[in-house]
Amino acid sequence: MAHRPTLKQLNYLCAVAKFRHFGQAAKSCHVSQPTLSAGIAELEDNLGVTLVERDNKNVLLTDIGHSVVARAQRILTHVDDLVSLAESAGKPFTGSLHLGVIPTIAPFLLPQFLPRFRKKYPDCQLFIREDLSANLLERLRAGELDVVLLALPYPTEGLDVEHLFYDEFLLAYYEQHPLAEKTPLLSRDLQGRDVLLLEDGHCLRDHALEACRLSERDVTAP
């Protein structure tokens, strides 16, 4: 009969799943490697299944291991939310806040946002991570981030989304460019022309291609 796991055991398992290395996982959990290994073994005994396959070179999750990790991450996220709820009951924005933001937004919003936030919530320790949208949302779902600033539209299934503002979509070209003579300028006028965009992986690149109905062969790499 399976027994309930502890939060510590689930945390150990999620660390192993993240690093695929017992030593690095133990370091991230601030415990010794034997302690972490023993915790994983106890978790497997409690559940009656093998979660991690070990050999001299690799650390792999079993099929049931992947499923347990996905549920464990959600459980740990809910526990963190519970702790945050308790902390904020007496005073909002106390403790820590982990914010993710994409590089195309950070330089414009953070210089205005940070001074006001620090002044209004001096007891909140703010941690900021700048990365691509896909990486930030992966960390958000894993509970490593509390909130993410990104450009919509973007797949956000299962997440709470709050629209903040609209931004202008502009085309820049030199004064003597043939497009300067086009009035009005339509998106189809860009077909077959070289367009300078952000590198692959940035959501704003995909937004621009979709809005202008461009294909990759029309795009010049930055």
| Per-residue pLDDT at 88 | 67
Total of domains in the chain: 3
Are 96 and 160 within one domain?
yes
| Per-residue pLDDT at 6 | 94
Of the residues 48, 78, 108, the one at which a domain ends: 78
Determine, yes or no, domain membership for 172.
no
| Per-residue pLDDT at 37 | 93
| Per-residue pLDDT at 90 | 64
Determine, yes or no, domain membership for 84.
no
Under-70 pLDDT residues of the chain: 1, 87-92, 216-222
| Per-residue pLDDT at 197 | 80
Are 69 and 98 within one domain?
no
Express each pLDDT in 32-48 by its tens digit.
999 999 999 999 999 99
**Could you tell me the CA-to-CA distances from 15 to 111, 142, 157, 184 in Å, in that order?**
34, 11, 24, 56
| Per-residue pLDDT at 62 | 93
Determine, yes or no, domain membership for 190.
yes
Are 124 and 154 within one domain?
yes
Determine, yes or no, domain membership for 87.
no
Are 142 and 182 within one domain?
no
| Per-residue pLDDT at 86 | 76
| Per-residue pLDDT at 42 | 94
Determine, yes or no, domain membership for 173.
no
Range of the domain at 188: 178-220
How many distinct helices (H) and strands (E) make up the chain?
7, 7
What are the two backbone dihedrals, phi and then psi, of residue 58, each rounded to the nearest 5 degrees?
-125, 150
CB 73 within 8 A of CB 141: yes
